[in-house]
Structure 1
């Protein structure tokens, strides 16, 4: 029993030494400005913070977030179908989808969905 304890401790020590050696050997020694700087949505953090920001990029990001949340709200609708009244489920689903389609129509009319300008 004492032999197994010593063996277990030896295995832990040897594995720690091997992990340390492998992490030292696998490090890349080449570092340049791009690899050491944080990535901020394609902007260079070393330049001025007052550079113009693309409004179209912002709108596309907002539309993506809105559609992402909409999908997260639409997916449980089909699970709720098993536990609710069919008439209430249908009215709620149609009301929710109507609001989404009206919002999509509004964004389309405002030109937020035109990718090329």
Structure 2
């Protein structure tokens, strides 16, 4: 029965398939960009070369100061997004036999660290939108 199955694939067969798919994808993207370059109309004017933001003509400098609290909100979001990334695999492992109480305690410690961080940010007044 094994004679009908054919020879076993070599070690690099899987890598070759992935490499071929990547090469075909790169060729497809390159062909699309080349076709766009050849087929698009090209009529530059001074007005078309201006920076454009929400329908308003650019006036003054392009530099603007941003308050630090927006970065703090973004940082807190990233922390809790990473928390969610770790919770989903934990939930799948927790259901397996032998991973019960130890895994549960580890996750409560992890969530406890995040809760202490959130409590610290709240006490410092970081979470108040002004």
TM range (shorter): 0.5 to 0.7
Give the whole-Å Cα distance in 1 for the aligned partners of 2:84 and 2:42: 41
Could you say which structure has the greater relative contact order, defined with CA pairs below 8 angstroms and 6 or more residues apart? Answer: 1
Give the whole-Å Cα distance in 2 for the aligned partners of 1:21 and 1:78: 47
Aligned ranges 1:52-71 → 2 under 5 Å: 52-71=65-84
Structure that is richer in helix per residue: 1
1:47 aligns with 2:33: no
Q: How many residues align?
A: 89
Q: Which runs of 5+ in 2 are unaligned?
A: 1-30, 54-58
Are 2:93 and 2:99, in contact at CA under 8 Å, matched by a contact in 1? no
What is the CA-CA distance between 1:111 and the residue it aligns to?
1.3
So what's the TM-score if we normalise by structure 1?
0.57
2:86 equivalent among 49, 52, 73: 73
Superposed CA deviations along residues 38-57 of structure 1, whole A, max 9, x for unmatched, are xxxxxx9x534xx5331111
Partner of 1:85: 99
1:33 equivalent among 50, 53, 57: 50
What is the CA-CA distance between 1:95 and the residue it aligns to?
0.8
Give the whole-Å Cα distance in 1 for the aligned partners of 2:42 and 2:122: 48
Classify 1:32/1:22 alpha carbon distance in 2 versus 1 (closer, same or farther; 3 Å).
Answer: closer
Classify the secondary structure of the residue corresponding to 1:113: coil
Give the whole-Å Cα distance in 2 for the aligned partners of 1:103 and 1:32: 47
Superposed CA deviations along residues 21-79 of structure 1, whole A, max 9, x for unmatched, are 776555585724225x9xxxxxx9x534xx53311111111112111211111111111
Give the whole-Å Cα distance in 2 for the aligned partners of 1:99 and 1:54: 27
RMSD: 3.1
